[in-house]
A = this chain, B = another copy of it.
Amino acid sequence: MNFTERLRQSQENHNSLVCVGLDPDPLKLPRHLQGREDGVLRFCRGIIEATQEVACSYKLNLAFFEAMGDNGTRTLRDVLRSIPKDTITIADGKRGDIGNSSSMYARSIMTDLQFDSATVHPYMGLDSVEPFAKDPSRGVFVLALTSNPGAKDLQYLKVSGKPLYEHVVRKVKKWNTAGNYGLVVGATRPAQLKQIRALVPEMPLLIPGIGAQGGDVRKAVHYGCDNTGALALLNASRSILFASAGEDYADAARTAAHALRDEINRYRQERFG
């Protein structure tokens, strides 16, 4: 099974398009976990246990694990171990370097840590990206149009009358001969999301920007899904992780994740039947 099929399977198994983003900011942990050496690990385990029924995917933001210092890689590995096997994991590290360096990143992320997929920058082109895509069952999500304000600095620049991000989409479509490439498209750009989905009707789209960043969930579903109502991965991080700041954080995360899954499924139902 290639990566796209694996993602589809996980979405069917969970009846869900929810990707839970694990961005464990140490300053936002519930008080009873703050300052403990295993605080981040316990927090993430609590979140995973509470959300695994409705999470078809977990996206681990490597920035937050790196910020833990010497203990970061071990924690990352331990968090990964507690994610159910049938659920797609994403290393959100936004890497990208010349071939031999990207190979080292891929070795760490895909071989050593055994992530199912990773996010990468497109700026350095094919040889910076393909070390992550060697195994068709593992995926690579290339940044196309991001959810942050700085997206306007480069991504909208017009190249031959079309925005740069569209050129990225077309390149990645060409590279995707084995069914294991995807794209990152922010939910904060609904019109462009719709246009990108039309260009790549069968590619996974990782869609951050709902929740704390304010993207419209309904539009993200209507415009981001393929014609079967799948292959859009709607990521929520802060709105699930920090739904409560107290000891009940896991219960609150469960409630928030289930509510998001149900909301998304209503929009799938109304659009794709």
Residue numbers of A with Cβ under 8 A of B are 23, 25, 61, 63-64, 66-67, 69-70, 72-74, 77, 92, 94-102, 104-105, 107-108, 112, 121-129, 143, 146-155, 157-160, 164, 167-168, 171, 208
Contact = CB atoms under 8 A, between A and B. Distances in A.
Leading 9 A-B pairs by shortest Cβ distance? A125-B150, A125-B153, A63-B104, A98-B148, A127-B150, A63-B101, A121-B121, A67-B104, A66-B108
Contacts of A69: 73, 108, 112
Contact of A61 (B66, B101, B148, B152): B101
Contacts of A112: 67, 69
B73 A104 contact: no
Contacts of A77: 70
A125 B107 contact: no
A121 B124 CA distance: 9
Contact of A143 (B23, B92, B105, B124): B124
15 contacts: A23-B100, A63-B97, A69-B73, A72-B73, A99-B149, A121-B121, A122-B123, A123-B123, A123-B143, A123-B146, A123-B154, A124-B150, A124-B153, A125-B154, A157-B167
Contacts of A128: 148, 150
A125 B149 contact: yes
A154 B168 contact: yes
Contacts of A100: 23, 25
A258 to B, nearest CB: 25
A148 B124 contact: yes
Contact of A23 (B25, B101, B147): B101
Contact of A152 (B23, B92, B125): B125
Nearest to A74: B70
Contacts of A155: 123, 125
Contacts of A122: 123, 153-154
